[in-house]
Structure 1
Amino acid sequence: MASITRKPILISGAGLASLLLAQSLRRASIPFQVFERDASISFRAQGYRLRLSSEGLDAIESVLGPEDFQKFWDTCGQTGGGGFAAINATTGLKIPEPAKDEKAEKAEAEKPKLPKESLSSRDGKVVGISRGDMRKLFMEGCEPFIHWSHHVTGYELTSSGVQAIFADGSKSIEGEMLIGGEGIYSKVARQVSKGKLKVYDTGARGIHGQAPAPAFKELGEGVWRITDETNPKGRLFAITNVRPGELDDPSIQFGWTMGAQPGVIRAPNDDYSMIGQPAAQLAKEFTEDWHESLKPLFEQMNVDEAAFWKITCSTPTGVPEWENEKRVTVIGDAAHSMTPAGGIGANTAVRDSALLGRLIAGAGGFAADGVTKTYEQEMRVYASEAVKTSYGMAKIGFGVSIDENSETV
């Protein structure tokens, strides 16, 4: 009996979700091709350090297996402490929890609350890893099948498969399936959902940056939220995760994330694709009156890695339903964009990769009936809850508010 030649699974985008899915397929000996619009993995700044939840770590471990997950785990930083400690930006002092009288506590208890956030995920530690390191680890072994400078702008179904369409009008080879993982601007997501998948601009903006570990020495170990309530430019905050054992090593860099309410952080010419000097300069201006113990985070930053970012979010009511297409589906931010609050987005994205990879492998790499449908049904449950939580936290932290009539990206 002649063997059946399998067409590759086509993957649009080479972000975290796409690369972990590729890794899952590689380990199941299922052919795949990845198409990424950037020219290389180092084409742009990689952004902030990601905090991994128990669910995110479980998903990654299920794909990588014991040996390679250990390598991943050893690359992660593990920080002690189970929650944020707040610091006043101008005094450099910790902000104590406000005392409450009995009436205030009762009123607070009656208010609707979001699920309590747990920062620690394994061994009582806060586990984090830089986006760049995460991408490199997920990419290992997949490099020959990644095509850089290939911007996917849509797809075309054929009688026996699917082809990706690129920005120059050319098409990919025929694939068995196409998985859209190219982020919030995904054209695959818009096409397969017939416009039902939307990403809203919350209006809030932020800046990512990083600096050598010794710049964080006066902060010490912990997950810190630095708050500036009196800045004349507007209310600001910055979050950073300071890991132990590395504070004397200038070759290691820690990251920080600055955020603000809508209208406070503005990129020159409203161009939020800018990286480097414009973002670094603005961060320094915002923090010029901060306490001396905090200034090294910004004065010593790696200017090349500074970057602006828009705070976007999918429909807060949950991931919408669309007519299922057995050969095409979406993962990660293409399916469910989230605010950075709680670090929920990346953890949900890797759950997508693990789930879909497992279903494709179970079908032998073929677009069997039920693969994308089962994936989408299961994904909508956990992703809708994640979007709701992420948005709720951002309403409190960033002061954002969106609805179905808000501006989309």
Structure 2
Amino acid sequence: MAATTRKPILISGAGVSSLLLGQALLRASIPFRIFEKDASLAFRGQGYRLRLSNEGLDAIESVLGPDGFNTFWEACGKTGGVGFSAIDAITGEPLTDVGPSYEATKKANGTPEDEAPKVLRESLASRGGKVVGISRGDMRRIFLQGCESSIEWNRQVTGYELTPSGVHAIFADGSKSVEGELLVGGEGLYSRVAEQLSGGILKVFDTGARGIHGQAPTTAFKGLGEGVWRVADTSRPGKRLFIITNVRPNDMDDPNIEFGWTMGGSAEVIRAPNDDYTITGPRAAAIAKSLTEKWHPRLKPLFDQMVENEAAFWKITCSNPTGVPEWPNESRVTVIGDAAHSMTPAGGIGANTAVRDSALLGKLLVESGGYSDGVTAAYEKEMRVYASEAVRTSYGLAKSQFGIVIDESTPTIRRGPRPV
């Protein structure tokens, strides 16, 4: 009964990490409010399918419990194989050089040589020796269940205001939320909460590399067959272009189900007109088709049969490649997911690190029965260890995959002015 009289935990953004944190609070009957700038989960495209590591699955299970996790697990796709199968986009022939792996990156970071094969195996396969994945949209829908009454849509958080006994979220229209015990910034790359909390220390670098997400009916993928595929276009010397896709066997003959692919490449290869990367739909699809017009016939259906309305550009960004920096702790405010540690898509590490944040912060809050002094400091101390390792690994892989280098000249994404 006491928990219901407490001020709520405030959460900015309704992404994967925010909704999973909501689930942890919901199960413990700790009041919370989630503020999301979009009008609904379906307001915009959800992007590429997310691969789940053992660590990510363990974090999700620790929050959802056996019954909730079983529902989640049944919604996941399971693909055989422990690593990438690589093919040449032009010839359709296998490639022996699949590009950088966790093995190479971990060796460079000092992992003993006899441990590197284990690291490589764990980089893709997780439970049951399968590559486990789920679309971002499906993950968000499952994590939303039961939390619907605690979400306020069309509410963009642009900052916060501390009070003697709590915190208010400040919205884009200048209004304020109810007073909460704690504000958790989970609104992604452009987090204003992260900007204000860290005083600008938490930076997101724009690497210049770009990508396009796309989807097609599963029947378009039959030329590839089951597996996790990396298709590399070697026809442009010194320039990089590839796609990654996960083809599950059970759905390959059903034209009513769609698989996704994600394209990545250096800035000089993937360009949007007028550098407008908000372009979606047929215009983005047309650019993807143009880039792949000379690809092998076994690959052409992925683009010829695109669901054009689902196509969208994305920027490849990364936090400071040395790891998550320290900022003066504020006991009433913290950040999770991309707001704390943006990562490149290399290695598929970002989402798994984000759900670890949710599980860790949720566990600390549940153990305290809600907010208590010291929770955010304990969370941030532990988060920085595993998240910094993840950022370094993601950046190391992306240096080879995308040819990116982050240095003092690399521009940062502007998160917006801090509120007065």
TM-score in terms of structure 1 length: 0.94
**What does 1:239-388 correspond to in 2, within 5 Å?**
239-366=244-371, 368-388=372-392
Corresponding residue to 2:398 among 370, 389, 394 = 394
Do residues 158 (structure 1) and 163 (structure 2) align?
A: yes
How far 1:96 moved relative to its partner?
A: 3.4
Residue 418 of structure 2 is matched in structure 1 by none
Residue 75 of structure 2 is matched in structure 1 by 75
CA-to-partner distance for each residue in 1:298-327, whole Å, 9 max, x for gaps?
111111111100000000111000111111
Please give the alpha-carbon distance, in whole angstroms, between the structure 2 residues aligned to 1:39 and 1:274.
19
Q: In structure 1, the residue corresponding to 2:82 is in which secondary structure?
A: coil
- Residue identity in the other structure for 1:189: A
Distance 1:330 1:97, change over 3 A: closer
Please give the alpha-carbon distance, in whole angstroms, between the structure 1 residues aligned to 2:140 and 2:46.
9
Distance 1:82 1:323, change over 3 A: same
CA-to-partner distance for each residue in 1:354-396, whole Å, 9 max, x for gaps?
0001111111112x12100000000000000000000000001
The more displaced of 225-234 and 194-203 is 225-234
How far 1:235 moved relative to its partner?
A: 2.8
Q: In structure 1, the residue corresponding to 2:325 is in which secondary structure?
A: coil
Residue 127 of structure 1 is matched in structure 2 by 132
Residue 43 of structure 1 is matched in structure 2 by 43
- Residue identity in the other structure for 1:403: D
- Residue identity in the other structure for 1:88: D
Q: In structure 1, the residue corresponding to 2:349 is in which secondary structure?
A: helix
- Residue identity in the other structure for 1:153: T
Q: In structure 2, the residue corresponding to 1:163 is in which secondary structure?
A: strand
> Is there any run of 5+ residues in structure 1 with no aligned partner, and where?
99-107
How far 1:231 moved relative to its partner?
A: 4.1
Residue 198 of structure 1 is matched in structure 2 by 203
Residue 26 of structure 1 is matched in structure 2 by 26
Residue 407 of structure 2 is matched in structure 1 by 403
Residue pair 2:20, 2:358 contacting (<8 A) in 1 also: yes
Please give the alpha-carbon distance, in whole angstroms, between the structure 1 residues aligned to 2:262 and 2:366.
37
Please give the alpha-carbon distance, in whole angstroms, between the structure 2 residues aligned to 1:110 and 1:71.
37
Residue pair 1:315, 1:403 contacting (<8 A) in 2 also: no
How far 1:192 moved relative to its partner?
A: 0.7
Residue pair 1:268, 1:278 contacting (<8 A) in 2 also: no
Residue 143 of structure 2 is matched in structure 1 by 138
Distance 1:96 1:216, change over 3 A: same
Distance 1:280 1:159, change over 3 A: same
Residue pair 2:10, 2:184 contacting (<8 A) in 1 also: yes
CA-to-partner distance for each residue in 1:78-121, whole Å, 9 max, x for gaps?
000011111111111212359xxxxxxxxx99977786432101
- Residue identity in the other structure for 1:141: G
Please give the alpha-carbon distance, in whole angstroms, between the structure 2 residues aligned to 1:134 and 1:65.
16
Distance 1:268 1:222, change over 3 A: same
> Is there any run of 5+ residues in structure 2 with no aligned partner, and where?
99-104, 414-420
Task: Output the aligned Cα RMSD.
Answer: 2.0
Please give the alpha-carbon distance, in whole angstroms, between the structure 1 residues aligned to 2:60 and 2:266.
33
Residue pair 1:8, 1:30 contacting (<8 A) in 2 also: yes
How many residues are paired up?
Answer: 399
Please give the alpha-carbon distance, in whole angstroms, between the structure 2 residues aligned to 1:3 and 1:192.
27
Please give the alpha-carbon distance, in whole angstroms, between the structure 1 residues aligned to 2:281 and 2:347.
25
Residue 172 of structure 2 is matched in structure 1 by 167
Please give the alpha-carbon distance, in whole angstroms, between the structure 1 residues aligned to 2:168 and 2:94.
56
Residue pair 1:262, 1:398 contacting (<8 A) in 2 also: no
- Residue identity in the other structure for 1:293: R
Please give the alpha-carbon distance, in whole angstroms, between the structure 1 residues aligned to 2:274 and 2:223.
36
Q: In structure 1, the residue corresponding to 2:127 is in which secondary structure?
A: coil
Please give the alpha-carbon distance, in whole angstroms, between the structure 1 residues aligned to 2:5 and 2:108.
59
**What does 1:54-73 correspond to in 2, within 5 Å?**
54-73=54-73
- Residue identity in the other structure for 2:385: V
How far 1:268 moved relative to its partner?
A: 2.0
Residue pair 2:3, 2:29 contacting (<8 A) in 1 also: no
Distance 1:89 1:175, change over 3 A: same
Residue pair 1:203, 1:262 contacting (<8 A) in 2 also: yes
Taking only the aligned residue pairs, the percentage that are identical comes to 69
Distance 1:5 1:342, change over 3 A: same
Q: In structure 2, the residue corresponding to 1:123 is in which secondary structure?
A: helix
The more displaced of 3-12 and 17-26 is 3-12
Distance 1:81 1:169, change over 3 A: same
Distance 1:29 1:235, change over 3 A: same
Do residues 95 (structure 1) and 99 (structure 2) align?
A: no
How far 1:262 moved relative to its partner?
A: 2.5
Please give the alpha-carbon distance, in whole angstroms, between the structure 2 residues aligned to 1:179 and 1:109.
32
How far 1:144 moved relative to its partner?
A: 1.0
Residue pair 1:262, 1:400 contacting (<8 A) in 2 also: no
- Residue identity in the other structure for 2:169: A
Please give the alpha-carbon distance, in whole angstroms, between the structure 2 residues aligned to 1:24 and 1:45.
26
Residue pair 1:312, 1:338 contacting (<8 A) in 2 also: yes
TM-score in terms of structure 2 length: 0.92
- Residue identity in the other structure for 1:16: V
Please give the alpha-carbon distance, in whole angstroms, between the structure 2 residues aligned to 1:111 and 1:263.
28
Please give the alpha-carbon distance, in whole angstroms, between the structure 2 residues aligned to 1:228 and 1:3.
57
Please give the alpha-carbon distance, in whole angstroms, between the structure 2 residues aligned to 1:404 and 1:79.
41
Residue pair 1:45, 1:304 contacting (<8 A) in 2 also: no
